[in-house]
Amino acid sequence: MNSPTVLSIAELTEMTTQIFRNAGVSDAQATAVARTIVAGERDACKSHGVYRIEGCFRTLKAGKVMPQAVPELLDDGSGVIRVDAKGAFSPAAFELGAPVLAARAKELGVAALAINSCLHFSALWPEVEALTDQGCAVLAMCPSYSSVAPTGGTEALLGTNPVAFGWPRKDNTPYVFDFATSVAARGEIELHRRAGTPLPEGWAIDAEGRPTTDPAAALDGAMLPFGGHKGSAISTMVELLAGVMIGDLTSPEALEYLGSMSLLPHHGELVIAFCPKRFAAGRSDPFARAEVLFEAIAGQGARLPSQRRYAARIKSEAVGITLTAEEMALLEKLRTQGLDAV
Amino acid sequence: MNSPTVLSIAELTEMTTQIFRNAGVSDAQATAVARTIVAGERDACKSHGVYRIEGCFRTLKAGKVMPQAVPELLDDGSGVIRVDAKGAFSPAAFELGAPVLAARAKELGVAALAINSCLHFSALWPEVEALTDQGCAVLAMCPSYSSVAPTGGTEALLGTNPVAFGWPRKDNTPYVFDFATSVAARGEIELHRRAGTPLPEGWAIDAEGRPTTDPAAALDGAMLPFGGHKGSAISTMVELLAGVMIGDLTSPEALEYLGSMSLLPHHGELVIAFCPKRFAAGRSDPFARAEVLFEAIAGQGARLPSQRRYAARIKSEAVGITLTAEEMALLEKLRTQGLDAV
């Protein structure tokens, strides 16, 4: 009963899709959401794996996501492609817009996809990789919930505002980074609280805006941006470009709209795609030259980002994904009880 | 003899233009370079002010910049506008491309300017502000010289790779940040060396790749990126987008090309412009909503970036720019002796 279960990627995808279908989510949304969640499990990013289903279900149960909404593509032929997700989970909206974005980037050199009114629960790297697979370089970002104080400030305002970038590599996994602009994730602070260990300096402030290493005080206060005022500025840029500019909610507005961080944030996302061949314009081969840079980085012992994910992926593709007995029990409960499970 | 001199912005611009003309630099290049250098003085960014003339002159004397080159605009009507600077200083190339970039961003929603084969010696904010003045949001970046080790690495590879962003504000100076992706500037390490004070932890490694707080050892070794692996990843992105992708030199290639950091780097620059009105598409007023965010940041005591520059600018516009007797003597020497002064 307590032994782990090994499922193929296809099996876990089918199981996850069915769980969402059972909960009243449309086929198109369910399959796209399942692909994203299983990508997290496949790459050993447990925090973006099946664990996320409960958050999706809580949001469904609260009526704060539209399970049958059909995202709409708005394309005027310009460099800005829009998808109105109409309150749906983001993956189906992204999958609708991504091929148009890649084609437009190849046509114009650079193009952007603005997704509006979506519920975004995943890491950005599955989206980034979908575009590097099409030969594009990609920069993606989205706001989240107010939980980070701007540097020099005293209270939560900015979100953890992830930024991700991808560069396609020939016959290799792409160069991809994807990180929160907070110095640490809220989950890491929670782990310190449970372990009773102090936080490193510079992670957080308390409710009075004073620096703290007490995890409980930090959870009542605010996290801090990575890299001091530079990270704070980048996080502000995310609010401006991927919130304000695309006509969607900023992190403080998303929190005000839902009143709770226990549900998925309702907001938008910005994805910028570049066609390196168009930019290089025959001056040199950008893909060959990028390899020289990657070799120089790895050659001095520095790691390229995402390598741990790619190693886990190879293993998952070869031998399947291992789920614990508890994880399997959770999936079974979600499958049979639907929204009553949360 | 030792009393300072106050010059109007126009007077210092004319004087600086004449200094470059005397050194054999074309009118178009001289006026653009002077505008950029005087913007530094005007905004009390002394490290980007008249001090930069000597570096320009050293590069001219070494024959590593083309003083009479005429930048060429290459525009195929797509989202990528190119300017081939043909080995000239960057400001004239930027001024040629910027109006086309702004117009294209308004037409397509997003567009990019790739400047190739330029010598870039200035901060990025004068360029960013030229585009926020046109109502665009802007993201600009360029490589520099290998002087920063990637996180986890042992030797200089990345440049200090500045990244700058701007957002236009109605009836106000724009929101602008502009920073190096190294944790500190090389000049700051030099100041510690002269003062005999140790560096803060995390600024640099020595020639053997070990962490050091000794400024001399750091100058022989490498600086470190801001924000650990996140800053290192952003700096790598700058090499990829603003070096490799646009078919121009990366920081290691720029250093290899010139063999010295005492001359200005020869490389390219990438400037991405967004039209917020096009992105917002009538969903909301992006400029009004951005003000709400700025007020929330400033309202909790956090500073918006560039405010010190803007305060200095108001003063310079009202009462002129104050130059020390030493600075005036340097300008006089550069004016009368030309390239023999360096």
Domain ranges of chain B: 1-68+306-342, 70-180+225-305, 184-223
Span B1-68+306-342 CATH architecture: Orthogonal Bundle (1.10)
- Decide if domain A69-173+224-278 falls under CATH 3.30.1370.60: yes
For residue B227, what pLDDT is reported? Answer: 97
> Does B303 score more than 60 pLDDT?
yes
> Is A296 at the interface with chain B, CB within 8 A?
yes
CATH classification code of B184-223 = 3.30.60.50
Token pair for A110: 């650079």
Distance from CA of A256 to the nearest CA of B (A): 14
Distance from CA of B152 to the nearest CA of A (A): 4
Mean model confidence pLDDT for chain A: 96
Count Cβ atoms below 10 Å from residue A202 Cβ, excluding itself. Answer: 14
For residue B155, what pLDDT is reported? Answer: 97
pLDDT digits 0-9 by tens, B164-174:
999 999 999 99
Residues from chain A that touch B303, judged by Cβ atoms under 8 A, are 152, 229
For residue A1, what pLDDT is reported? Answer: 58
Contacts of residue B51, defined as CB under 8 A and 6 or more positions apart, other chains included, come to: none
pLDDT band at A319 (very low <50, low <70, confident <90, very high): very high
- At B142, phi and psi to the nearest 5? -155, 150
> Does A279 score more than 80 pLDDT?
yes
Percentage of the residues of chain A whose pLDDT score is greater than 90: 95
What is the enclosing helix (H) or strand (E) of B164?
A: strand B163-167
Span B70-180+225-305 CATH architecture: 2-Layer Sandwich (3.30)
Distance CA A139, CA A141 (A): 7
> Contact A205/A225 with Cβ under 8 angstroms?
no
Closest CA to A121 of A164, A74, A88, A165: A88
Angle at CA B189, nearest 5°, toward B184 and B192? 130
Name the residues of A annotated as catalytic.
47-48, 188
> Contact B91/B21 with Cβ under 8 angstroms?
no
Distance CA B338, CA A27 (A): 73
Whether A301 and B152 lie within 8 Å, measured CB to CB: yes
pLDDT (mean) for A297-313: 97
This model of the complex carries an ipTM of 0.97
Residue A269 carries which side chain, given as an amino acid letter? E
Whether B282 and A247 lie within 8 Å, measured CB to CB: yes
Distance CA B89, CA B53 (A): 12
- Out of A163-172, B182-191, B302-311, pick the least confident: B182-191
Contacts of residue A236, defined as CB under 8 A and 6 or more positions apart, other chains included, come to: A150, A158, B175, B177, B293, B297
Q: At what angle do helices B52-61 and B27-42 cross, to 10 degrees?
A: 150
Distance from CA of B327 to the nearest CA of A (A): 31
Number of CB pairs < 8 Å for A and B? 218
pLDDT band at B262 (very low <50, low <70, confident <90, very high): confident
CA A231 to chain centre: 18
Percentage of the residues of chain B whose pLDDT score is greater than 70: 100
Please name the residue that has the structure tokens 């083309």: B66
CA A232 to chain centre: 19
For residue B1, what pLDDT is reported? Answer: 57
Q: Which CATH number fits domain A1-66+307-342: 3.10.20.580, 3.30.70.260, 1.10.1530.10, 1.20.120.1460?
A: 1.10.1530.10
> Does A147 score more than 80 pLDDT?
yes
Most A CBs within 10 A among B73, B75, B83, B110, hence the mutation to make, goes to: B110
Distance CA B170, CA B94 (A): 24
Query: Looking at the DSSP assignment, which residues form a beta bridge with residue A227?
Result: none
For residue A101, what pLDDT is reported? Answer: 98
For residue A262, what pLDDT is reported? Answer: 86
Greater pLDDT, A188 or B117: B117
Token pair for A276: 């390196």
pLDDT digits 0-9 by tens, A47-106:
899 999 999 999 999 999 999 999 999 999 999 999 999 999 999 999 999 999 999 999
Distance CA A154, CA A89 (A): 33
